Structure 1
Amino acid sequence: MGYDLSNVRYVSLIRLEGGESILNIPYAELTVDPDLIAGFVTAVIIFAKTPIRTIRKAAYDILIEVGETVLVLLVVDPVPNEEPYRKKLRAILKNVEEEHGESLRKFEGDVRKFRDFALNVVVEFPFSVPDMELVPIRKKNGVKIPYRVGIVDRKLETLENYINGKRNIAEILGLIDLPDEEVIALISILKKYKWIDFRRRLRPGDVLERRDCSDSLLMRLRQQYGDPVDNLLEAMDGESSIESVMARLEAAPFGFDRNAIWFLINKLVEGGCLCLKGTL
């Protein structure tokens, strides 16, 4: 990768002619208003007699790449090597001028048309890069995504159709008809705005413990799967590994099938009736 995402604080695209911020993407909290930073940088660029590429402040640096119609700035923690970050900024600059150069030259004051370019920025600087083995789990009450419009909305919907609580990220990448870097960016957007969480797949050595879950869910599971539901809940004592529980149940007179045990364990975990020890 060559750069550390944890250093990235803020990315802004500013129209050169008028100084308007056309797109702002915060990554971390800043002690100063980002709009003030954008205005300050624009003024410096316009009035400077020599090109300025870096502005150093006490707690952060501002890296700047300037094109024909727009400048891209990155607020970043002080880093020993700027080039990996600048390479990303130059890619953003090239893409925005190719896609929106004409709109920037004939700007009419409406910045909303640039919102879906946010995906291009997040492709270069994802909010996070998760472990490919993690399983994304959808959540109901996330935070509104400010640039969920147009193509970003359509691609997020496409991704959400592949998130079923069972596939891990690597499997989703293998199935979905989107570039890998876009999928990682989209996943990072959903995670940042709290529309998904992650869990890892259970392993035979994991230890599970009982947790409270709704009576209606337990009743439905008992109706569907019978006594094995209670057998498993009793066996998961917070001390025994899944493998040892499975071995006991396989050896029991009623003879559980191993695949059936795994299936039911996952159902109980998905329903919140069992969880990994120590995660209550």
Structure 2
Amino acid sequence: MISEPNIYALYFIERDSGKCMYYQKFSGVEVDPDRLSGFISAIVSFSEELLPKMGDDWLKTIDRGSFSLIVERGDHVYGLLIVDKSVPEVRAKLKELVEAFEKKFAPKIKEWKGEIGVFDDFRNDVFRVFPAQSILPQYVPELLTRLSRNVELSPKMSVILQILKEDPNTNLQGISRKSGYDIGEILEEIRSFVVRGLIRFKVKVLEEDVYQISPRTWEALMKGVYQLEKIQKIYGVKGVEILFANDGKRSVKKIAQDLRLNPGFVKVVLGYFLMEGFIELVTRET
């Protein structure tokens, strides 16, 4: 059996403007979405002009040795995966995601003016296709509806749901710690519930939470300033200040007080940091 490639990042790029509409990082290679958008748009445009009569046989893969860029063209967007190796199965999944993205967000795509976060809800669709790679330990499974009695539960799923019933803010890491199951097992149990629309993933930030910058983020910051530029572009200088305030000692409430910022705004920014893996939870007081 051929193992599935490591997937580093997923991008959706608007064809007309070349702007990045959706970006999800998994692990490994770190690439500026805006710079990559411009690069891919230029390459694809060039290949289409160079080979205007080739139909579907236009540039679809860019091999960089240590990783490959897989490109799929939709009606309105380009889908792009960065992987360690290109295989037909992964390309088929990317095509599936491009079609799902354009169908789900058809009205929003036409009206989109470059706003950040408009398509964030697509993370759960990505999970359905790449369940083992697209969900981080800090994500919280949220039960969207009360389960009927005829829903069959495995013993493991019963334990997971009991943990969430006792504390709906428990993330995957917490469920793993309380249940003794590894995160891969938990995701395997939860996957069918996500597909059926019974569970979705979110991040939950409480005022009592204490966070610290993740080792992966420190490593990225040592290599360049891209992460800071990205944060500043979205949340301004205050976003960068909030990032560095996560010293593993101060609570979210204390950070908001020290920076004289609205606690709601701080929680929104920290939620983004959690989704991107920039920070990790140290303690959660309940």
TM-score computed with the length of structure 1 as normaliser: 0.48
| TM-score, with length taken from structure 2 | 0.47
Structure number, greater radius of gyration: 1
